[in-house]
């Protein structure tokens, strides 16, 4: 019987994230968390003789959230440019998950054609001891795994 080695677990603190906007790549060292989800869009397919309603996939949609410390104006500036010109902006996110010492190796994920839903224009909270942060909700239209985790064998 094989067991999962605790040394193969991947810590989220070891991740790296990068954003590419207009050909300019920036490390998101001020990121706190990211989660991107792919959801299948399903449609009902009623079938004679069945009492249930089967479903089948009819596409997909990608959405996510990126929580960052409130220390960068890049996304606010892009939104301001959109407000002024009506020209939307798109970007790519690259996420690297790697844990030194893990036999899983690393995974590099690309979220492509990302588009923000909203940004915080300004913020403060004089009653909190917590650091300021903001959650950026986004959608994406393409997805790629550039490098995959190794298959782990256990102990």
Q: What is the CATH number of the domain that holds 89?
A: 2.30.110.40
Which residues form the domain of 87?
6-42+56-147
Q: Total domain count for the chain? A: 1
Per-residue model confidence as pLDDT tens digits over 86-144: 999 999 999 999 999 999 999 999 999 999 999 999 999 999 999 999 999 999 999 99
Could you tell me if residue 51 is inside a domain? Answer: no
Q: What is the DSSP string of 114-151?
A: EEES---S----TT--SPPEEEEEEEESEEEEEEPPPP
Could you tell me if residue 87 is inside a domain? Answer: yes
For the full predicted model, state whether its pTM sits above 0.75: yes
Could you tell me if residue 95 is inside a domain? Answer: yes
Could you tell me if residue 154 is inside a domain? Answer: no
23: which residues sit within 8 A by CB, 6+ positions away?
Answer: none
Q: In whole angstroms, what is the distance from residue 144 CA to residue 139 CA?
A: 15
Could you tell me if residue 47 is inside a domain? Answer: no
Could you tell me if residue 109 is inside a domain? Answer: yes
Could you tell me if residue 64 is inside a domain? Answer: yes
């Amino acid at each position: 019987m094989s067991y999962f080695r605790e040394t193969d677990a991947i810590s989220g603190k070891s991740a790296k994230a990068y954003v590419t906007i207009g050909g300019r790549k920036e490390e998101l060292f001020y990121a706190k968390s990211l989660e991107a989800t792919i959801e299948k869009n399903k449609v009902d397919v009623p079938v004679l003789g069945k009492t249930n309603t089967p479903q089948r996939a009819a596409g997909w949609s990608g959405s996510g959230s990126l929580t960052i410390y409130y220390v960068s104006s890049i996304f606010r500036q892009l939104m301001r440019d959109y407000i002024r010109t009506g020209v939307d902006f798109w970007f790519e996110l690259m996420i690297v998950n790697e844990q030194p010492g893990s036999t899983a190796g690393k995974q590099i994920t690309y979220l492509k054609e990302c588009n923000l839903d909203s940004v915080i224009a300004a913020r403060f909270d004089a009653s909190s001891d917590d650091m300021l942060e903001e959650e950026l909700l986004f959608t994406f239209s393409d997805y790629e795994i550039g490098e995959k985790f190794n298959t782990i064998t256990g102990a």
